Structure 1
Amino acid sequence: MSTSQETVTFARDNLAEAYTIGGNPEKTATFYSSWSKGDNYDQHLNPNLYRGPEIAAQAVADFFPSSKRGDAHILDVAAGTGFVAENLKKHGFMRFDALDASEGMLQKARQKGLYDNYICCYLDTNKLPILEDTYDCAVTSGGMGEGHIPYNSLDQLVRVVKPGGLVCIVMREEFVNHSQYKDLLEPYMTRLEKEGHWQKVSRTVVEKYVLEHNGVVYKFKVLPGQNKTE
Protein backbone atom coordinates (compact mmCIF):
# COMPACT_ATOMS: atom_id res chain seq x y z
CA MET A 1 0.00 0.00 0.00
CA SER A 2 1.44 3.33 -1.07
CA THR A 3 1.18 6.53 0.94
CA SER A 4 0.68 9.91 -0.71
CA GLN A 5 3.15 12.72 -0.20
CA GLU A 6 0.32 14.77 1.28
CA THR A 7 -0.23 12.16 3.99
CA VAL A 8 3.50 12.03 4.71
CA THR A 9 3.55 15.82 5.08
CA PHE A 10 0.54 15.81 7.42
CA ALA A 11 2.11 13.06 9.53
CA ARG A 12 5.45 14.86 9.79
CA ASP A 13 3.87 18.24 10.61
CA ASN A 14 1.48 16.86 13.21
CA LEU A 15 4.19 14.82 14.93
CA ALA A 16 6.41 17.89 15.06
CA GLU A 17 3.59 19.83 16.73
CA ALA A 18 2.75 16.99 19.12
CA TYR A 19 6.33 16.85 20.35
CA THR A 20 6.89 20.60 20.47
CA ILE A 21 9.49 21.66 23.02
CA GLY A 22 7.76 23.24 25.96
CA GLY A 23 4.64 21.16 25.48
CA ASN A 24 2.55 20.24 28.49
CA PRO A 25 0.16 17.34 29.26
CA GLU A 26 -3.05 19.35 28.85
CA LYS A 27 -1.91 20.87 25.58
CA THR A 28 -0.77 17.48 24.31
CA ALA A 29 -4.04 15.73 25.20
CA THR A 30 -6.07 18.47 23.52
CA PHE A 31 -3.93 18.28 20.40
CA TYR A 32 -4.37 14.52 20.10
CA SER A 33 -8.13 14.75 20.61
CA SER A 34 -8.25 17.21 17.71
CA TRP A 35 -6.01 15.02 15.55
CA SER A 36 -8.21 11.98 16.17
CA LYS A 37 -11.32 13.57 14.63
CA GLY A 38 -12.61 11.69 11.64
CA ASP A 39 -10.01 9.16 10.54
CA ASN A 40 -7.17 11.66 10.39
CA TYR A 41 -4.87 10.07 12.96
CA ASP A 42 -5.25 6.53 11.65
CA GLN A 43 -4.69 7.68 8.07
CA HIS A 44 -1.73 9.94 8.83
CA LEU A 45 0.07 7.38 10.98
CA ASN A 46 -0.66 4.35 8.85
CA PRO A 47 1.67 1.31 9.08
CA ASN A 48 3.75 2.52 6.13
CA LEU A 49 4.82 5.58 8.13
CA TYR A 50 4.58 4.47 11.75
CA ARG A 51 6.03 1.04 12.50
CA GLY A 52 6.14 1.57 16.27
CA PRO A 53 3.01 -0.45 17.14
CA GLU A 54 4.17 -3.39 15.03
CA ILE A 55 7.61 -3.22 16.64
CA ALA A 56 6.14 -2.99 20.14
CA ALA A 57 3.80 -5.93 19.58
CA GLN A 58 6.64 -8.09 18.31
CA ALA A 59 8.79 -7.16 21.31
CA VAL A 60 6.00 -8.16 23.70
CA ALA A 61 5.34 -11.38 21.78
CA ASP A 62 9.01 -12.31 21.99
CA PHE A 63 8.78 -12.11 25.79
CA PHE A 64 5.68 -14.27 26.22
CA PRO A 65 5.43 -17.90 25.05
CA SER A 66 2.52 -18.40 22.67
CA SER A 67 0.75 -20.53 25.27
CA LYS A 68 0.69 -17.59 27.72
CA ARG A 69 -0.46 -14.83 25.39
CA GLY A 70 -4.20 -15.45 25.51
CA ASP A 71 -4.32 -14.95 29.28
CA ALA A 72 -1.77 -12.13 29.54
CA HIS A 73 -3.36 -8.92 30.84
CA ILE A 74 -1.80 -5.92 29.09
CA LEU A 75 -1.90 -2.20 29.86
CA ASP A 76 -1.47 -0.18 26.67
CA VAL A 77 0.01 3.13 27.85
CA ALA A 78 -0.66 6.18 25.67
CA ALA A 79 -2.91 3.81 23.77
CA GLY A 80 -4.23 6.36 21.30
CA THR A 81 -6.72 4.83 18.88
CA GLY A 82 -5.48 1.31 19.54
CA PHE A 83 -2.63 0.63 17.12
CA VAL A 84 -0.63 -1.45 19.60
CA ALA A 85 -3.61 -3.57 20.63
CA GLU A 86 -4.47 -4.22 16.98
CA ASN A 87 -0.97 -5.54 16.42
CA LEU A 88 -0.89 -7.53 19.66
CA LYS A 89 -4.06 -9.36 18.62
CA LYS A 90 -2.18 -10.70 15.59
CA HIS A 91 0.18 -12.46 18.02
CA GLY A 92 -2.61 -14.08 20.02
CA PHE A 93 -3.01 -11.55 22.86
CA MET A 94 -6.61 -10.88 23.87
CA ARG A 95 -6.85 -8.90 27.12
CA PHE A 96 -6.09 -5.18 26.97
CA ASP A 97 -6.79 -2.04 28.97
CA ALA A 98 -6.14 1.39 27.46
CA LEU A 99 -4.53 4.29 29.31
CA ASP A 100 -4.48 7.68 27.59
CA ALA A 101 -4.91 11.31 28.58
CA SER A 102 -6.84 12.14 25.40
CA GLU A 103 -10.55 11.38 25.61
CA GLY A 104 -10.84 11.89 21.86
CA MET A 105 -8.30 9.18 21.16
CA LEU A 106 -9.94 6.79 23.61
CA GLN A 107 -13.31 7.40 21.94
CA LYS A 108 -11.83 6.21 18.66
CA ALA A 109 -10.47 3.13 20.41
CA ARG A 110 -13.90 2.46 21.91
CA GLN A 111 -15.40 2.43 18.43
CA LYS A 112 -12.99 -0.35 17.52
CA GLY A 113 -13.92 -2.38 20.62
CA LEU A 114 -10.31 -3.25 21.35
CA TYR A 115 -10.09 -2.85 25.13
CA ASP A 116 -11.82 -4.13 28.23
CA ASN A 117 -11.30 -0.87 30.12
CA TYR A 118 -10.58 2.70 29.03
CA ILE A 119 -8.67 4.80 31.55
CA CYS A 120 -8.50 8.51 30.73
CA CYS A 121 -5.47 9.50 32.77
CA TYR A 122 -2.05 11.05 32.29
CA LEU A 123 0.89 8.93 33.36
CA ASP A 124 3.07 11.03 35.64
CA THR A 125 4.45 10.75 39.17
CA ASN A 126 0.96 10.58 40.68
CA LYS A 127 -0.41 7.19 41.60
CA LEU A 128 -2.40 5.63 38.78
CA PRO A 129 -6.00 4.59 39.55
CA ILE A 130 -4.91 0.97 39.15
CA LEU A 131 -4.14 -1.61 41.81
CA GLU A 132 -0.60 -2.90 42.33
CA ASP A 133 0.36 -6.06 40.41
CA THR A 134 -2.61 -5.86 38.04
CA TYR A 135 -0.95 -6.49 34.68
CA ASP A 136 1.38 -9.01 33.09
CA CYS A 137 2.73 -6.30 30.82
CA ALA A 138 2.70 -2.53 30.33
CA VAL A 139 3.68 -1.36 26.87
CA THR A 140 3.91 2.02 25.18
CA SER A 141 4.77 3.04 21.66
CA GLY A 142 5.05 6.76 20.97
CA GLY A 143 4.21 7.72 24.53
CA MET A 144 7.63 9.16 25.28
CA GLY A 145 8.45 12.67 24.09
CA GLU A 146 8.23 16.35 25.00
CA GLY A 147 4.90 17.02 26.72
CA HIS A 148 4.28 13.28 26.96
CA ILE A 149 5.29 10.71 29.61
CA PRO A 150 7.86 12.11 32.07
CA TYR A 151 10.93 9.99 32.77
CA ASN A 152 10.23 9.72 36.50
CA SER A 153 6.77 8.22 35.99
CA LEU A 154 8.20 4.79 35.18
CA ASP A 155 7.79 3.83 38.84
CA GLN A 156 4.05 3.65 38.24
CA LEU A 157 4.50 1.05 35.53
CA VAL A 158 6.62 -1.03 37.89
CA ARG A 159 3.87 -0.74 40.51
CA VAL A 160 1.02 -1.98 38.32
CA VAL A 161 2.91 -4.82 36.61
CA LYS A 162 3.17 -8.19 38.35
CA PRO A 163 6.52 -9.64 39.41
CA GLY A 164 8.01 -11.41 36.42
CA GLY A 165 5.98 -9.22 34.07
CA LEU A 166 7.22 -6.95 31.31
CA VAL A 167 7.53 -3.20 30.88
CA CYS A 168 8.17 -2.44 27.20
CA ILE A 169 8.94 1.10 26.04
CA VAL A 170 9.26 1.92 22.34
CA MET A 171 10.22 5.47 21.42
CA ARG A 172 12.10 7.62 18.94
CA GLU A 173 15.82 7.08 19.50
CA GLU A 174 16.73 10.75 19.19
CA PHE A 175 14.43 11.62 22.09
CA VAL A 176 16.64 9.72 24.53
CA ASN A 177 19.13 12.58 24.44
CA HIS A 178 16.58 15.30 23.79
CA SER A 179 15.04 17.98 26.02
CA GLN A 180 13.17 16.47 28.96
CA TYR A 181 14.95 13.09 28.79
CA LYS A 182 18.54 14.20 28.21
CA ASP A 183 20.81 12.72 30.90
CA LEU A 184 17.69 11.71 32.84
CA LEU A 185 15.74 8.87 31.23
CA GLU A 186 18.36 6.15 30.95
CA PRO A 187 20.01 7.02 34.29
CA TYR A 188 16.56 6.73 35.88
CA MET A 189 16.05 3.34 34.24
CA THR A 190 19.42 2.26 35.63
CA ARG A 191 18.49 3.56 39.08
CA LEU A 192 15.31 1.48 39.11
CA GLU A 193 17.40 -1.55 38.21
CA LYS A 194 20.03 -0.90 40.89
CA GLU A 195 17.28 -0.46 43.47
CA GLY A 196 15.84 -3.85 42.56
CA HIS A 197 12.59 -2.75 40.95
CA TRP A 198 13.21 -4.22 37.52
CA GLN A 199 15.90 -5.93 35.44
CA LYS A 200 16.80 -4.86 31.92
CA VAL A 201 16.10 -7.58 29.38
CA SER A 202 17.25 -5.69 26.31
CA ARG A 203 17.82 -2.34 24.63
CA THR A 204 17.48 -2.53 20.85
CA VAL A 205 17.68 0.12 18.14
CA VAL A 206 15.29 -0.39 15.21
CA GLU A 207 15.27 1.34 11.84
CA LYS A 208 12.44 3.53 10.56
CA TYR A 209 10.36 3.41 13.71
CA VAL A 210 8.39 6.42 12.42
CA LEU A 211 8.99 8.06 9.04
CA GLU A 212 12.79 8.22 8.65
CA HIS A 213 13.46 8.20 12.41
CA ASN A 214 14.98 5.19 14.15
CA GLY A 215 13.50 3.88 17.35
CA VAL A 216 14.73 2.24 20.51
CA VAL A 217 13.00 -0.66 22.28
CA TYR A 218 13.50 -1.13 26.01
CA LYS A 219 12.35 -4.29 27.77
CA PHE A 220 12.44 -4.63 31.56
CA LYS A 221 11.34 -7.56 33.70
CA VAL A 222 9.65 -6.47 36.93
CA LEU A 223 11.16 -7.97 40.07
CA PRO A 224 9.35 -9.32 43.16
CA GLY A 225 6.81 -7.21 45.05
CA GLN A 226 8.89 -6.44 48.10
CA ASN A 227 10.98 -4.17 45.88
CA LYS A 228 7.99 -2.31 44.48
CA THR A 229 8.31 1.43 44.25
CA GLU A 230 5.57 3.72 45.49
Structure 2
Amino acid sequence: MKDTPEKWVATYEATTPEQLVDAYRCWADEYDRDTCQGMGYVGPGVAANLLDRYLESPRSRVLDAGCGTGLVGQAMSELGYSRIEAMDFSRDMLKVAEEKDVYGDIHHGDMNRRLAFDDNSYDATICVGALTYAHVGPEVFDEFVRITRPGGYICFTVRDGAYQEYGYRKRMVRLEADNAFRLKEMVDTDYLQKEDVTAKYCIYEVLEA
Protein backbone atom coordinates (compact mmCIF):
# COMPACT_ATOMS: atom_id res chain seq x y z
CA MET A 1 0.00 0.00 0.00
CA LYS A 2 1.56 3.25 -1.13
CA ASP A 3 0.85 5.56 1.83
CA THR A 4 0.28 3.07 4.62
CA PRO A 5 1.07 4.50 8.08
CA GLU A 6 3.84 2.77 10.00
CA LYS A 7 1.36 1.93 12.76
CA TRP A 8 -0.77 -0.05 10.29
CA VAL A 9 2.28 -1.96 9.11
CA ALA A 10 3.14 -2.80 12.73
CA THR A 11 -0.19 -4.59 13.19
CA TYR A 12 0.51 -6.85 10.20
CA GLU A 13 4.08 -7.59 11.20
CA ALA A 14 3.28 -8.63 14.78
CA THR A 15 4.48 -12.16 15.51
CA THR A 16 3.03 -12.55 19.03
CA PRO A 17 -0.23 -11.51 20.69
CA GLU A 18 1.73 -9.14 22.90
CA GLN A 19 3.21 -7.36 19.90
CA LEU A 20 -0.24 -6.99 18.36
CA VAL A 21 -1.64 -5.53 21.59
CA ASP A 22 1.26 -3.09 21.77
CA ALA A 23 0.76 -2.06 18.15
CA TYR A 24 -2.89 -1.22 18.73
CA ARG A 25 -2.12 0.52 22.02
CA CYS A 26 0.09 2.92 20.08
CA TRP A 27 -2.50 3.42 17.35
CA ALA A 28 -5.90 3.46 19.08
CA ASP A 29 -6.29 7.23 19.38
CA GLU A 30 -5.33 7.95 15.76
CA TYR A 31 -6.85 4.85 14.17
CA ASP A 32 -10.06 6.41 12.85
CA ARG A 33 -8.25 9.41 11.40
CA ASP A 34 -5.49 7.37 9.77
CA THR A 35 -7.78 4.75 8.26
CA CYS A 36 -10.96 6.61 7.34
CA GLN A 37 -9.52 9.96 6.35
CA GLY A 38 -6.02 8.90 5.40
CA MET A 39 -6.67 5.65 3.53
CA GLY A 40 -10.34 5.81 2.66
CA TYR A 41 -11.36 2.88 4.85
CA VAL A 42 -14.91 1.99 3.79
CA GLY A 43 -15.02 -1.63 5.00
CA PRO A 44 -17.23 -1.04 8.06
CA GLY A 45 -19.93 0.79 6.14
CA VAL A 46 -19.96 -1.63 3.21
CA ALA A 47 -20.20 -4.65 5.53
CA ALA A 48 -22.90 -3.07 7.71
CA ASN A 49 -25.05 -2.36 4.66
CA LEU A 50 -24.54 -5.91 3.39
CA LEU A 51 -25.67 -7.41 6.70
CA ASP A 52 -28.62 -5.00 6.90
CA ARG A 53 -29.97 -6.37 3.62
CA TYR A 54 -30.43 -9.78 5.25
CA LEU A 55 -31.47 -9.06 8.84
CA GLU A 56 -35.21 -8.89 9.41
CA SER A 57 -35.24 -6.32 12.19
CA PRO A 58 -33.09 -3.52 13.66
CA ARG A 59 -33.83 -5.20 16.99
CA SER A 60 -31.59 -8.10 15.99
CA ARG A 61 -28.87 -8.88 18.51
CA VAL A 62 -25.53 -8.39 16.74
CA LEU A 63 -21.98 -9.12 17.88
CA ASP A 64 -19.28 -6.91 16.37
CA ALA A 65 -16.36 -9.33 16.66
CA GLY A 66 -12.96 -7.67 16.43
CA CYS A 67 -14.70 -4.33 16.75
CA GLY A 68 -11.57 -2.21 16.96
CA THR A 69 -12.56 1.41 17.56
CA GLY A 70 -16.22 0.73 16.86
CA LEU A 71 -16.56 1.81 13.24
CA VAL A 72 -18.84 -1.12 12.39
CA GLY A 73 -21.00 -0.48 15.45
CA GLN A 74 -21.27 3.15 14.46
CA ALA A 75 -22.35 2.18 10.95
CA MET A 76 -24.90 -0.33 12.29
CA SER A 77 -26.25 2.26 14.72
CA GLU A 78 -26.73 4.73 11.88
CA LEU A 79 -28.84 2.05 10.17
CA GLY A 80 -31.08 1.87 13.24
CA TYR A 81 -29.61 -1.11 15.11
CA SER A 82 -29.70 -0.74 18.90
CA ARG A 83 -28.70 -4.18 20.23
CA ILE A 84 -25.05 -4.28 19.18
CA GLU A 85 -22.29 -5.72 21.36
CA ALA A 86 -18.56 -5.20 20.96
CA MET A 87 -15.66 -7.61 21.39
CA ASP A 88 -11.97 -7.07 20.78
CA PHE A 89 -8.54 -8.30 21.92
CA SER A 90 -7.23 -4.76 22.46
CA ARG A 91 -8.49 -2.99 25.57
CA ASP A 92 -7.20 0.30 24.16
CA MET A 93 -9.30 -0.08 21.00
CA LEU A 94 -12.30 -1.14 23.10
CA LYS A 95 -11.99 2.04 25.14
CA VAL A 96 -12.31 4.13 21.98
CA ALA A 97 -15.22 1.95 20.78
CA GLU A 98 -17.06 2.41 24.08
CA GLU A 99 -16.79 6.19 23.76
CA LYS A 100 -18.86 6.02 20.55
CA ASP A 101 -21.83 5.04 22.73
CA VAL A 102 -23.35 2.61 20.22
CA TYR A 103 -22.79 -0.69 22.07
CA GLY A 104 -24.95 -2.25 24.74
CA ASP A 105 -22.14 -4.44 26.09
CA ILE A 106 -18.37 -4.41 25.71
CA HIS A 107 -16.44 -7.70 25.85
CA HIS A 108 -12.70 -8.30 25.98
CA GLY A 109 -11.84 -11.55 24.18
CA ASP A 110 -9.38 -13.42 22.00
CA MET A 111 -10.88 -14.75 18.77
CA ASN A 112 -8.08 -17.29 18.47
CA ARG A 113 -9.58 -19.07 21.48
CA ARG A 114 -13.05 -20.33 22.36
CA LEU A 115 -15.35 -17.33 22.72
CA ALA A 116 -17.00 -16.70 26.09
CA PHE A 117 -20.55 -16.72 24.70
CA ASP A 118 -23.29 -19.35 24.86
CA ASP A 119 -24.37 -21.27 21.79
CA ASN A 120 -26.92 -19.46 19.59
CA SER A 121 -26.47 -16.16 21.45
CA TYR A 122 -26.71 -13.80 18.49
CA ASP A 123 -28.92 -13.13 15.50
CA ALA A 124 -25.81 -12.08 13.61
CA THR A 125 -22.05 -11.85 13.97
CA ILE A 126 -20.11 -9.31 11.95
CA CYS A 127 -16.31 -9.23 11.68
CA VAL A 128 -14.55 -6.52 9.67
CA GLY A 129 -10.79 -6.19 9.46
CA ALA A 130 -9.75 -9.00 11.80
CA LEU A 131 -9.49 -11.87 9.31
CA THR A 132 -6.13 -10.91 7.90
CA TYR A 133 -2.38 -11.19 8.36
CA ALA A 134 -1.14 -11.68 11.96
CA HIS A 135 -4.61 -11.37 13.45
CA VAL A 136 -7.28 -14.10 13.62
CA GLY A 137 -7.05 -17.58 12.09
CA PRO A 138 -9.75 -19.42 10.10
CA GLU A 139 -10.77 -21.57 13.09
CA VAL A 140 -12.84 -18.61 14.29
CA PHE A 141 -15.48 -19.47 11.69
CA ASP A 142 -16.45 -22.49 13.82
CA GLU A 143 -16.97 -20.20 16.80
CA PHE A 144 -19.02 -17.74 14.77
CA VAL A 145 -21.28 -20.61 13.73
CA ARG A 146 -21.58 -21.79 17.33
CA ILE A 147 -22.58 -18.43 18.83
CA THR A 148 -24.92 -17.40 15.98
CA ARG A 149 -28.40 -18.93 16.03
CA PRO A 150 -29.62 -21.15 13.16
CA GLY A 151 -31.20 -18.87 10.59
CA GLY A 152 -28.92 -16.04 11.68
CA TYR A 153 -26.09 -14.52 9.66
CA ILE A 154 -22.32 -14.24 9.74
CA CYS A 155 -20.87 -11.31 7.80
CA PHE A 156 -17.13 -10.78 7.42
CA THR A 157 -14.34 -9.32 5.33
CA VAL A 158 -11.16 -11.06 4.20
CA ARG A 159 -8.29 -9.25 2.53
CA ASP A 160 -7.10 -10.69 -0.75
CA GLY A 161 -3.86 -12.59 -0.29
CA ALA A 162 -4.71 -13.55 3.26
CA TYR A 163 -7.86 -15.20 1.87
CA GLN A 164 -5.75 -17.87 0.22
CA GLU A 165 -2.55 -17.88 2.28
CA TYR A 166 -4.15 -18.14 5.74
CA GLY A 167 -6.56 -20.96 4.91
CA TYR A 168 -9.76 -18.96 5.22
CA ARG A 169 -11.17 -20.28 1.96
CA LYS A 170 -10.35 -23.89 2.89
CA ARG A 171 -12.18 -23.56 6.22
CA MET A 172 -15.17 -21.88 4.60
CA VAL A 173 -15.49 -24.70 2.07
CA ARG A 174 -15.26 -27.33 4.81
CA LEU A 175 -18.03 -25.70 6.86
CA GLU A 176 -20.17 -25.39 3.75
CA ALA A 177 -19.66 -29.12 3.04
CA ASP A 178 -20.58 -29.91 6.65
CA ASN A 179 -23.81 -27.89 6.26
CA ALA A 180 -22.78 -25.58 9.10
CA PHE A 181 -23.50 -22.49 7.05
CA ARG A 182 -24.61 -21.54 3.53
CA LEU A 183 -23.08 -18.77 1.42
CA LYS A 184 -25.63 -16.09 0.56
CA GLU A 185 -23.37 -13.54 -1.06
CA MET A 186 -19.68 -12.81 -1.70
CA VAL A 187 -18.64 -9.45 -3.12
CA ASP A 188 -15.21 -8.15 -4.13
CA THR A 189 -15.24 -4.39 -3.71
CA ASP A 190 -13.48 -1.39 -2.20
CA TYR A 191 -11.87 -1.70 1.22
CA LEU A 192 -9.25 1.07 1.36
CA GLN A 193 -10.33 3.35 -1.47
CA LYS A 194 -7.35 5.72 -1.41
CA GLU A 195 -4.98 2.75 -1.44
CA ASP A 196 -6.75 0.88 -4.27
CA VAL A 197 -7.21 -2.10 -1.93
CA THR A 198 -10.23 -4.37 -2.19
CA ALA A 199 -11.52 -7.18 0.00
CA LYS A 200 -14.00 -10.01 -0.11
CA TYR A 201 -17.23 -9.27 1.76
CA CYS A 202 -19.03 -12.50 2.65
CA ILE A 203 -22.37 -13.24 4.26
CA TYR A 204 -23.42 -16.71 5.36
CA GLU A 205 -26.64 -18.08 6.83
CA VAL A 206 -26.14 -20.43 9.79
CA LEU A 207 -27.89 -23.77 9.31
CA GLU A 208 -29.50 -26.14 11.82
CA ALA A 209 -26.97 -28.49 13.40
TM-score in same-fold range (> 0.5) = yes
The runs of at least 4 consecutive aligned structure 1 residues that moved more than 3 Å come to none
5+ residue gaps, structure 1, are 1-7
TM-aligned CA deviation for residue 13 of structure 1: 2.8
Q: Please tell me whether the aligned partners of residues 43 and 190 of structure 2 are also in contact (alpha carbons under 8 angstroms).
A: no
- Of 39, 47, 50 in structure 2, the residue corresponding to residue 59 of structure 1 is 50
Tell me how many residue pairs correspond in the alignment.
Answer: 206
Of 171, 189, 203 in structure 2, the residue corresponding to residue 206 of structure 1 is 189
Provide the C-alpha distance between the structure 2 equivalents of 1:221 and 1:103, rounded to a whole number of angstroms.
30
Partner of 1:157: 144
- SS where residue 19 of structure 1 aligns? helix
Q: CA deviation at 1:33?
A: 1.9
Tell me: CA distance 1:208–1:130, structure 2 relative to 1, closer, same or farther (3 Å). closer
Match of residue 106 from structure 2: 118
CA contact (8 A) 1:76 1:139 kept: yes
| Matching residue of 1:34 | 26
Segments of 5+ residues of structure 2 without an aligned counterpart are none
Partners in 1 of 2:11 and 2:137 — Cα distance?
15
The answer for the alignment partner of 1:4 in structure 2 is: none
Moved more, 205-214 or 137-146: 205-214
Tell me the CA shift for residue 215 of structure 1: 1.0
Alignment of 1:137-156 (within 5 A): 137-156=124-143
Q: TM-score with structure 1 length normalisation? A: 0.84
CA contact (8 A) 1:133 1:160 kept: yes
Matches within 5 A, 1:101-116: 101-116=89-104
Q: What does the per-residue CA deviation read over 1:87-118, in whole Å, with 9 as the maximum and x for residues that have no partner?
A: 11122211111110000000111222221111
- Tell me the TM-score normalised to structure 2 length: 0.92
1:42: how far off? 1.4
Match of 2:123 in 1: 136
Q: Compare CA radii of gyration and give the structure with the larger one.
A: 1
- State the Cα deviation string for residues 141-173 of structure 1 (Å, max 9, x = none): 111112211111211110100110111111322
Letter in 2 for 1:86: Q
- Give the direction of change, closer, same or farther, for the CA distance of 1:49–1:98 in structure 2 (3 Å limit): same
Aligned to 1:197: 180
Contact kept? 1:52, 1:209, Cα under 8 Å: yes
